[in-house]
Amino acid sequence: MLQALTRFFRRGSDESQLELTFQSAAPANAEQLLARLTTLGLKRISRVRLTRNRNVMVSFGAGVMRVHEGYLSAPEPVLRAIVCFVEGRTRADRRAAQRVIVTHPIVTKAPKERRERTHTDDAGMSEQLTEWHARYNTRHFHGRLKPVAMRVSRRMKSRLGHYSAAIAGGDVAEIAISRSHIRRHGWPEALHTLLHEMVHQWQDETGHTIDHGSTFRAKCREVGIAPYARRVLATRPGRAAGAQTLGRLAAREG
């Protein structure tokens, strides 16, 4: 891992410039972070946006990079890894960078809005999902996954489900399943979504990047579900219309 990053930064590096940036103060906002990363070799990004997404630490596309605000205080090696994640020429370079990026501990500020709670009328659905989580944990993960909070969401309309990693000193890990998904597509599809999110939980708890890459797809095939980032479903249960993958580069989602 270190060899891959070292090779990347030896390409045309200026030692005096690297020494200068190492001694500079930590960036305080997105603009300063972009300037700092640019001095370290970032070229294809023209704008940085700070986020509080607990699953995706770094993502980029169309000249814009989204970075978790916790990386404002990241040390030099982690900032270099972010540059390598964007600019790296080989998969080995980018994978090595991802492993460095996720080592930085993220402390997230308390959210402005409280997390949605399961409506009292949906408590029965939440209990069933919790029971199925325990069954799937035993059946597919040898009982090694931790119990997580289970929520039925009335806000989620376009997404079927979502796994949220725990925050140090904050919210616990949670799986949310869309109420409209359960009602519209039925329990077989909802349980498929639950198992999809449990694969993300497995990634989180075993130290893998939370994404829809090769590790995710291999684990999905192992537990017997479709290895897609996003599924397109028909309006009636049991009639899937196909699927498409979500092509987004990410270090950890989290």
State pLDDT tens for residues 138-191.
Answer: 999 999 999 999 999 999 888 899 998 887 666 789 999 999 999 999 999 999
Q: Residue 7 has what pLDDT? A: 59
**What is the token pair recorded at 203?**
């990634």
Query: Which string of b and e fits 8-29 if b means at least 16 CB within 10 Å?
Result: bbeeeeeeeeeeebeeeeebee
Q: Per-domain residue ranges for the chain? A: 2-101, 125-251
The lowest-confidence range among 32-46, 56-70, 187-201 is 56-70
pLDDT at 32 over 50: yes
The string of pLDDT tens digits covering residues 185-234 is 999 999 999 999 999 999 999 988 888 888 999 999 999 998 876 664 54
The rounded distance, in Å, linking the Cα atoms of 194 and 174 is 11
In the predicted structure, residue 35 carries a pLDDT above the cut 70: yes
* pLDDT above 60: residue 245: no
Say what the pTM is.
0.57
Determine the pLDDT at residue 99: 86
* Domain 125-251, architecture per CATH: 2-Layer Sandwich (3.30)
